[in-house]
Amino acid sequence: SAGAMISKGSFEIPASNGMLSGKYKVVISCAEEMKNPPKNLARGSSPPTEEKLPPEFSSFEKTKATAEVTSTGKNIFDFIIP
């Protein structure tokens, strides 16, 4: 598996990070800090977040997005999120 941050609508995973040829599930996440976090957070813990994308993109179990990496070609993948 590999991951990358999306910046200005684009992402890049360098070949040196080991993406071998094959078909992969794609999970895209957009989490934001909760506007009203629970009051009983443990001291020093990270603030809780809420996922903003539907499970069809953000859940490993439910994602419908895939990408097929090949050893030739540019391997450009566009994902349209409504």
3-class SS of residue 66: strand
Compute the C-alpha angle 31/34/36, nearest 5°: 170
* pTM of structure: 0.72
Q: Whole-angstrom Cα distance, residue 24 to residue 8? A: 23
CA distances from 6 to 11, 20, 28, 72 (A): 5, 21, 9, 24
User: Which residues on adjacent β-strands are paired with residue 25?
Assistant: 66
Task: Show the tokens assigned to 3.
Answer: 């991951």
pLDDT for 44 = 78
How does pLDDT run along the chain (82 residues), one tens digit per residue?
A: 788 888 888 888 887 776 889 999 999 999 888 877 777 877 877 778 889 999 999 999 999 999 999 988 788 899 988 8
